Amino acid sequence: MTAAPLVPGHRAVANWLLACAGMVFVMAIIGAITRLTESGLSITEWKPITGTLPPLNEAQWLIEFEKYKQIPEYQVLNRGMSLDEFKQIFFWEWFHRLWGRLIGVVFAVPLIWFAVKGMVTRSMLPKLVGLFLLGGLQGFIGWFMVQSGLSVRTDVSHYRLAMHLSMALILYALLIQAGLGLRHPGAAHRSDRADLRRHGWAAMVLVSITVVWGAFVAGLDAGFAYNTWPLMNGEFAPPEVWNLSPAWLNFLENTAMVQFTHRWLAIATAAVVLSYAWRVGQRADLPEVAKRSALWLSLGIGGQVVLGITTLLHAVPVALGSAHQGGALVVIALLIRSIHTLRR
């Protein structure tokens, strides 16, 4: 199947979509910092419009601080926090939300312009509107996540955190795929490369599952335990990995098993990604761009594994933890691009 024929302005539309994907990438980094600095519950209300501005005077700051004092996180973990300390965590949550609003504006305004100028086809417009609506849904999911930590818990639900990150990955991947499709609109699928495409998409599924388990690790603070590699405090799998009943619940809620699963799922995923990249490099009929892309993918997944282990060994400092989340998005982008080059 061949993509839509090239129309004037398609390259500009493609660059805009890829720029929006870049903003989602930055959003994920900010989100990781927000999580690692325990800032996500500092804003206890969702005000999509009026919440754009932070408190502008001391009285407004005291009002926001009083709201924060009513939730369990403050009462159990942060009692006695000063106003200046509150301002620090407030900043990251406010900035995270502000960046999400900016993505919405950067997507919506050019979309209207491109549509008026006829730079997007009729078949493309519903897909772009759908992406915008998914972005709005992501904002709601973010608030849905925050709500889980405002009444009973001292943090957000790790299930909702995983949902929030998963939607970000979906938006990111769709933006990149749409942008690349517009940059090479005449590229077609080739039947003799179908096995490689299947291999590449299987690798993508594994990468996505690994990232979701990474969200479980973050949500359960599992990265602060078992900070050794490859053994977990001297054992391949400590006995407490089976503490919960029924057994399957350990994979979702047991700190030890969640970290164990993420560790070895990451290694298995890296093996599948590397085997895909190796197969691409061995195919003499593939263009040089496909082989270069596979090489970059190999370097990306290898670097991500090393970064993950380093992050664990150092008990997840903010800089390494946020870089590790960013590395996952880099791998996804490289994998999408590699699969796309098979169409050339």
State the pLDDT at residue 285. 87
| 183 in the same domain as 220 | no
**Binding site residue list:** 262, 324
| 146 in the same domain as 25 | yes
| 273 in the same domain as 220 | yes
Terminal-residue alpha carbon distance, the chain: 12
Closest to 231 in 3D by CA, of 253, 260, 254, 258? 260
State the pLDDT at residue 4. 45
Contacts of 226 (CB under 8 A, 6+ apart): 232, 233, 238, 256, 259, 312
The tally of CA atoms less than 13 A away on the side-chain side of residue 164 is 28
| 223 in the same domain as 291 | yes
Q: Give 84's strand partners.
A: none
Domain boundary among 156, 188, 220: 188
Placement of tokens 């973010």 in the chain: 142
Q: Could you tell me if 314 and 21 are in contact, meaning their C-beta atoms sit under 8 angstroms apart?
A: no
Task: Tell me which residues of the chain have a pLDDT lower than 50.
Answer: 1-6
| 292 in the same domain as 335 | yes
Q: Which residues of 237-270 are buried (b: 16+ CB within 10 A; e: fewer)?
A: ebebbeebeeeeebebbbbbbbbbbbbebbeebb
Distance (Å, whole) CA 192 – CA 172: 29
Domain boundary among 188, 208, 233: 188
Taking each helix axis from N to C end, the angle separating 194-219 and 10-36, rounded to the nearest 10 degrees, works out to: 30
Distance (Å, whole) CA 264 – CA 305: 11
Q: Could you tell me if 161 and 40 are in contact, meaning their C-beta atoms sit under 8 angstroms apart?
A: no
State the pLDDT at residue 54. 93
pTM over 0.85, yes/no: yes
The predicted-structure confidence for 27-82, as pLDDT tens digits, reads as follows 999 999 999 999 999 999 999 888 899 999 999 999 999 999 999 999 999 999 99
Domain boundary among 163, 188, 213: 188
Contacts of 168 (CB under 8 A, 6+ apart): 24, 27, 28, 31, 138
Distance (Å, whole) CA 151 – CA 153: 6
Burial of 24 (0-12, 13-18, 19+ CB in 10 A): buried
| 129 in the same domain as 109 | yes
Count CB neighbours of 274 within 10 A.
Answer: 17
| 224 in the same domain as 155 | no
Contacts of 135 (CB under 8 A, 6+ apart): 103, 104, 107, 171
Placement of tokens 């001391």 in the chain: 58
Under DSSP, the state recorded for 246 is S
The alpha carbon dihedral of 93, 143, 131, 37 has a sign of positive
Residue 282's domain spans which residues? 191-344
Number of structural domains the chain divides into? 2
**Binding site residue list for heme:** 262, 324
State the pLDDT at residue 189. 65
Does residue 246 have a cis peptide bond before it, meaning omega lies within 30 degrees of 0? yes
Closest to 99 in 3D by CA, of 15, 175, 176, 23? 23
